[in-house]
Amino acid sequence: MKIKKPISDAVVRRMPRYYRCLKELERAGVKRVSSTTISEILNITASQVRQDFSNFGEFGQQGYGYDLVYLKAQIRAILGLDKEYGVVIVGGGHIGLALANYEKYSREGFRILAVFDVKFDHIKAPRGVEILHIDEFEKFVEENKVDICAITTQKETALSIAEKAKECGISAIWNFAPIDIHEDDNTVVENLNLNESLFTLCYKLNAKELEEV
């Protein structure tokens, strides 16, 4: 699949939601699905759904709805979920262990390979996940196919870990530390900042008051 222009961040972030929605409809036994149904489940407009899909090609015929299995496979491919990814986690705190123990990732092709920390006697990880000292990071990455590095350390450590990951040639960083890690030509980054999410919620909670004129 080839697309003609860079896709906006807003569209990109809706794609995983479409994928989740289609998986749920598939489990419910649905065979054909309309943009209207998808839009109602996700609380967006049907024209938005059609417009988003049209960025990536034609997935269905006007008036007939989409073939669910086909559409789901297309979106899966757009998200790159038809491939396998090796994942390492740096930081064995609660967030790191939440990621390490989330078995459903493996169904989508994410293989959690190892958790790195400086102290790790307390860390319990599922079978198959190595628990290693951070000093072994470079060696491990050299010897294994690591595509994604999840960083769940304090912010003070996060930047140096990100540098190390980039130097080792890891091409994707999933950052949970409360600091922005920037992308470069070789590395994509997704910053997931819990504080910022909480503060956004607070904004919404207070917005009615702010917006009364």
**Measured between alpha carbons, how far is 61 from 64 in angstroms, rounded to an integer?**
6
Is 88 within 8 Å of 138 (Cβ atoms)? no
Helix (H) or strand (E) holding 105: helix 104-107
2 or 135: whose CB is closer to a copy of itself? 2
Q: Which two tokens stand for residue 73?
A: 């496979």
Q: Is 26 in the site for a copy of itself (CB under 8 A)?
A: no
Q: Is 201 in the site for a copy of itself (CB under 8 A)?
A: yes
Q: Angle 160-166-172 (CA atoms, 0-180°, nearest 5)?
A: 110
Residue 120 CB, nearest approach to a copy of itself (Å): 16
In one-letter notation, the amino acid at residue 196 is E
CB neighbour class for 4 (10 Å; exposed up to 12, middle 13-18, buried from 19)? exposed
Q: Which stretch binds a copy of itself (CB under 8 A): 46-54, 73-81, 111-119, 138-146?
A: 73-81
Using alpha carbons, list the distances in angstroms from residue 134 to 81, 161, 164. 28, 9, 11
Half-sphere exposure at residue 119, Cβ-oriented, CA atoms within 13 angstroms: 2
- Pick one of 2, 27, 119, 127: the residue that binds a copy of itself (CB under 8 A): 2
**Please, which of residues 33-72 interact with a copy of itself by CB under 8 A?**
42-43
Buried b / exposed e across 20-49, counting CB within 10 Å, b at 16+? ebbeebeeeeeeebbbebbbebeebeeebb
102 or 139: whose CB is closer to a copy of itself? 102
Residue 116 CB, nearest approach to a copy of itself (Å): 17
Query: In this structure, are strands 188-191 and 172-175 parallel, antiparallel, or unpaired?
Result: parallel
Q: How far is CA 63 from the centre of its chain?
A: 32
Q: Which stretch binds a copy of itself (CB under 8 A): 12-20, 27-35, 127-135, 160-168?
A: 12-20
54 or 206: whose CB is closer to a copy of itself? 206
**Please, which of residues 130-149 interact with a copy of itself by CB under 8 A?**
147-148
Q: Which stretch binds a copy of itself (CB under 8 A): 45-53, 74-82, 127-135, 136-144?
A: 74-82
136 or 200: whose CB is closer to a copy of itself? 200
135 or 184: whose CB is closer to a copy of itself? 184
Binding site for a copy of itself (CB under 8 A): 1-7, 10, 12-13, 15-17, 19-20, 42-43, 78-81, 83, 85, 93-95, 97-99, 101-102, 104-105, 108, 110, 147-148, 171-172, 174, 178, 180, 182, 188-190, 192-207, 210-213
